[in-house]
Amino acid sequence: MKPLFRAGIAGACLALAAGCSGDRAAPAANEPERAAAADAVAANPLLAATWDTPYGAVPFDRIATEHFGPAFDEGMRAHLAEIAAITANPEPASFDNTILALERSGRLLERAFAVFGNLASANSTDAIRALQREYSPKLAAHQSAIRLDPALFARVEAVHAARATLPADRARVVERTYVQFVRAGARLDEAGRQRVAAIDQRLAELSTRFSQNLLADTEAFTLVLSTEEELAGLPESLRQSAAETARQRGLEGQYVITLQRPSVEPFLTYSSNRALREKAWRAWILRGDNGNEFDNKALIAEIVALRAERSRLLGYDTFADFMLDDSMAGTPAAAIDLMRRVWEPALARAKEERAALTALAKAEGAGHPIEAWDWRYYAEKVRKREFDLAEGDIKPYLQLERLIEGMFHVGNRLFGLSFHELSGIPVPHPSIRVWEVKNADGGLVGLFYGDWFARQGKQGGAWMSSFQRQHKLDGGALPHVINVMNISQPPAGQPALISFDDAITLFHEFGHGLHGLLSDQTYPSISGTAVSRDFVEFPAQFMEHYMTQPYVLKRFALHVETGEPMPDALIERLLASRTFNQGFATVEFLASAFVDMAFHQLSPEEAANLDVAAFERDTLASIGLIDEIVMRHRSPHFSHVFAGGYPAAYYSYMWSEVLDADGFAAFLEAGDIFDPTLAARLRANVYAAGNSRPPMEAYVAFRGREPDVRALLVNRGLADDS
């Protein structure tokens, strides 16, 4: 339902490095060693004070894999020296000499990690994966050495105690800094701090292994098609993209379906070869669960147990209690209450949908019950029958290039932004494009990178991240953000046609990009997307609504051959079908959210000797999941939770959906989807605000009141619009 989002680099760095081994200064080097070290620094672009590229963009054309290890080592050394200077300061702790000094520290390491993190996710190689395995525990140890330093925390605590005397923006930075230290374990005794540091280091290792296992298991499977019987039912656009995938893999003249969602989901939707549908479906749901060297179940068991133990050390009953204590929801009970309010009507709707699919299959003479690998295939047939609409009717109008123009147009109408494509900016892959972003007054906002096509070495899903975060300290920094997707590459010279779901994802990730680009904060720790997990999806999901507006469809959904806009009648049928199959979509999402929450509500004692497969199965049975639907993300490939920033937080997509549905309703009520007054409030209080105030305060400042969950139910067709 919702794509994968990855946090801005500060959050990502903390996720990987959540946890420093108490490095000690090396023995003094002799003169030749110092000269050699100086030469190495001079030759490493990651260690340059500034980059002489246009806009100070990352010089990807000069960066080699071997530069990262030395950059990480030097970055950690420099960071620890900066921290030592803070703790050695004889003056009483103040905002300037402690909190502001922390805001300025670690920039060399953060910059190197910003580059590496993107390559590791989107351009992975054996050498990069080896560096991940080596440095994820080192970076975790580095972070622990800082966050668990008693002398440093004493200074932070002193400033926190006097925060009432500070201006509001400084007080907020102090508050968030203090919370982060406490949640890292800074208030524990020495034994507790040592154990938390060890846990964080081990968790960093495990999450890296989980991610790499998933990528390896995903890339190990390909479904090669050669005959018309194997291609039966597949539309021409899918055949072309499968042929291009085959060509890239040296299988000219054949067709390849991969386990990337934009490849396998259309295959499951259109293939009339039921045996091949089952084969592809089983490979898809069993990623990370094949009993081979890439099996993730043992990693999950250890991750869950360590998270539970860490939370107990910090005074929480469970990891879910720990995570949600610093969220909009506040408690697991509040998140579960929302999920259950949606689950019951969604499950009832899914059962109605199952009955409709079964009836159609029977009418067509199918001699088998509906199975999970049949659902998408028959759902597409039912949609065609009920709405006179098939994906093949829509896709010729959904050209990626035109839709990129459409999302930039929305950014212009809402916020006055203009996007000018640049040439000559170094990029990590030739298919990546870069735009200069300016405000209505001509002032430079930042750089926007688009990396939309699937390739080997790229993690599945879609996300936004940053090469440079916005802030105003010491001359400031403009944001450089990137949107990443996994759209199937079209044959050379042909336009990329995408599904409507991919079009929604395109606008979703653009919303995250705008959240980074429009940030207007002095302090880097509270800028951009550095907000709670159940608020960060709001700016992205809000932007999805524009892809369903007739205004946008009429201007940018242009037929690939004729250039004609999508007809009014087709738009009407498309919008009428938006709530079709929402029982299925909601149930598969919530099944994953319930399992995530169940894992993380285990106590340390309950998490011991965890049988992951049995626990997942029992949890799904307890909520009454029907056999024909599986979790959107089964546990062994649930990277949001076990290799990303969403543990005990997958619910947050739905929590944020309450906000985005209610928030967009304000524009509909105003009668103008670009209402300038609302847009100005949205920009000031959400997109530009970072974490400068609690998220509910930010939402109310935009909307004028707290959100109403009913808008979500209506949007999903689970309640009447009355």
**pLDDT confidence band for 497 (50 / 70 / 90):** very high
Percent of the chain with pLDDT over 70: 94
Sign of the C-alpha dihedral computed for residues 640, 646, 650 and 655 taken in this order: negative
Q: Examine the domain organization and report whether 684 and 544 are in the same domain.
A: yes
**pLDDT confidence band for 31 (50 / 70 / 90):** low
**What integer pLDDT is reported at residue 24 of this predicted model?**
31
Q: Examine the domain organization and report whether 470 and 544 are in the same domain.
A: yes
**What integer pLDDT is reported at residue 40 of this predicted model?**
61
Q: Among residues 597, 632, 667, which one ends one of the domains?
A: 632
Q: Is the pLDDT of residue 8 over 50?
A: no
Q: Examine the domain organization and report whether 380 and 407 are in the same domain.
A: no
**What integer pLDDT is reported at residue 711 of this predicted model?**
87
**pLDDT confidence band for 15 (50 / 70 / 90):** very low
Q: Among residues 187, 212, 236, which one ends one of the domains?
A: 187
Look at residue 571 and tell me if it is in a domain. no
Q: Over the stretch 413-448, which tens digit does the pLDDT of each residue have?
A: 999 999 999 999 999 999 999 999 999 999 999 999
Look at residue 47 and tell me if it is in a domain. yes
Task: Say which of 509, 537, 544, 657 is annotated catalytic.
Answer: 509
Q: Examine the domain organization and report whether 375 and 407 are in the same domain.
A: no
Look at residue 355 and tell me if it is in a domain. yes
Convert 655-693 into a string of H (helix), E (strand) and C (coil).
HHHHHHHHHHHHHHHHCCCCCHHHHHHHHHHHHCCCCCC
Q: What is the average per-residue pLDDT within 487-506?
A: 94
Taking the C-alpha atoms of residue 328 and residue 13, their distance in angstroms, rounded to an integer, is 22
Q: Examine the domain organization and report whether 259 and 129 are in the same domain.
A: no
**What integer pLDDT is reported at residue 1 of this predicted model?**
35
| DSSP symbols for 159-207 | HHHTGGGS-HHHHHHHHHHHHHHHHHTTTS-HHHHHHHHHHHHHHHHHH
Q: Examine the domain organization and report whether 143 and 23 are in the same domain.
A: yes
Percent of the chain with pLDDT over 90: 90
**What integer pLDDT is reported at residue 645 of this predicted model?**
92
**What integer pLDDT is reported at residue 30 of this predicted model?**
62
Respond yes or no: is residue 509 known to be catalytic. Answer: yes
Look at residue 250 and tell me if it is in a domain. yes
Which helix (H) or strand (E) segment holds residue 652: the answer is: helix 652-670
Mean model confidence pLDDT for the chain: 93
Q: Over the stretch 580-618, which tens digit does the pLDDT of each residue have?
A: 999 999 999 999 999 999 999 999 999 998 999 999 999
Q: Over the stretch 647-705, which tens digit does the pLDDT of each residue have?
A: 999 999 999 999 999 999 999 999 999 999 999 999 999 999 999 999 999 999 999 99
Helix axes 9-16, 190-220, angle to 10 degrees: 100
CATH number at residue 409: 1.10.1370.40
Q: Is the pLDDT of residue 9 over 60?
A: no
Taking the C-alpha atoms of residue 510 and residue 419, their distance in angstroms, rounded to an integer, is 13
**What integer pLDDT is reported at residue 33 of this predicted model?**
57
| Nearest C-alpha neighbor of 636 from the set 292, 391, 397, 287 | 287
Q: Is the pLDDT of residue 99 over 80?
A: yes
**pLDDT confidence band for 407 (50 / 70 / 90):** very high
Identify each DSSP E strand in 237-310 by its residue range. Answer: 255-257
Look at residue 282 and tell me if it is in a domain. no
Hey, what are 600's tokens? 């993380």
Q: Examine the domain organization and report whether 586 and 627 are in the same domain.
A: yes
**What integer pLDDT is reported at residue 28 of this predicted model?**
44
Q: Examine the domain organization and report whether 553 and 669 are in the same domain.
A: yes
Q: Examine the domain organization and report whether 519 and 440 are in the same domain.
A: yes
Q: Over the stretch 335-355, which tens digit does the pLDDT of each residue have?
A: 999 999 999 999 999 999 999
Q: Examine the domain organization and report whether 433 and 380 are in the same domain.
A: no
Taking the C-alpha atoms of residue 405 and residue 178, their distance in angstroms, rounded to an integer, is 43
Look at residue 92 and tell me if it is in a domain. yes
Q: Is the pLDDT of residue 13 over 70?
A: no
Taking the C-alpha atoms of residue 500 and residue 722, their distance in angstroms, rounded to an integer, is 27
Q: Examine the domain organization and report whether 617 and 662 are in the same domain.
A: no
Look at residue 296 and tell me if it is in a domain. no
Q: Is the pLDDT of residue 5 over 90?
A: no
**What integer pLDDT is reported at residue 39 of this predicted model?**
60
Chain centroid to CA 701: how far? 26
Hey, what are 224's tokens? 């090669």
Look at residue 210 and tell me if it is in a domain. no
3-state secondary structure of 438: strand
**What integer pLDDT is reported at residue 159 of this predicted model?**
98
Q: Is the pLDDT of residue 32 over 70?
A: no
**What integer pLDDT is reported at residue 3 of this predicted model?**
34
Q: Over the stretch 527-536, which tens digit does the pLDDT of each residue have?
A: 999 999 999 9
Task: Identify the domain containing residue 333 by its residue range.
Answer: 311-389+581-632
Q: What is the average per-residue pLDDT within 50-69?
A: 97
Q: Examine the domain organization and report whether 93 and 170 are in the same domain.
A: yes
Exposed/middle/buried for 268, CB within 10 Å: 0-12, 13-18, 19+? Answer: buried
Q: How many domains does the chain have?
A: 4
| Nearest C-alpha neighbor of 370 from the set 383, 381, 360 | 360
The full length of the chain comes to: 722
Q: Is the pLDDT of residue 327 over 80?
A: yes
